[in-house]
Amino acid sequence: MATQDPKPVDRDDVDGIALALPEVTREGTDEHPAYAVRGKTFVVWRGPRKDALEPDTGERMPDVISIVTPGQEDKIAILALGEPWFTTPHFDGYDAVLVRERDLGRLDYLELAEIITDAWATRAPKKLVKEHLG
């Protein structure tokens, strides 16, 4: 029996990964949701902003997702994975990486789940993280 290629990662996967984590709420709008644990966001769909522009056209990117990282070392490690992960000067010194919704299909599901789980653990209370992750 031939194996099938895995389904490309999409918006629903981000939603499912984030909402499967303890005490996560979905805030914002359908177009620009944000995921938070006890009021602290860790994944945010950003609206078009002047700090994230299309290289070819100069238009504002409408589909940028910001994901918190545990620290600068983690941010650097994720960015070292290469595209589609990126950052902008606006995020210099801030513990977060960016990815475009249109590029989610280029990501590995397990890699994305690990990055989102780490983002959650960065914002969640230590006791809740220990209960969930051990």
Structural domain 11-128, CATH architecture: Alpha-Beta Complex (3.90)
Look at residue 47 and give its three-state secondary structure.
Answer: coil
CA torsion sign for 9, 77, 91, 96 is positive
| pTM (global) more than 0.75 | yes
Backbone φ and ψ of 62, nearest 5°: -90, -5
Given this model, what pLDDT does residue 2 score? 47
- In angstroms, the CA 96 to CA 21 distance is 19
Given this model, what pLDDT does residue 61 score? 87
Domain boundaries, the chain: 11-128
Given this model, what pLDDT does residue 5 score? 55
Which mean pLDDT values do the consecutive 10-residue runs of the chain (134 residues) have? 67 96 95 96 92 87 95 97 93 94 94 97 96 86
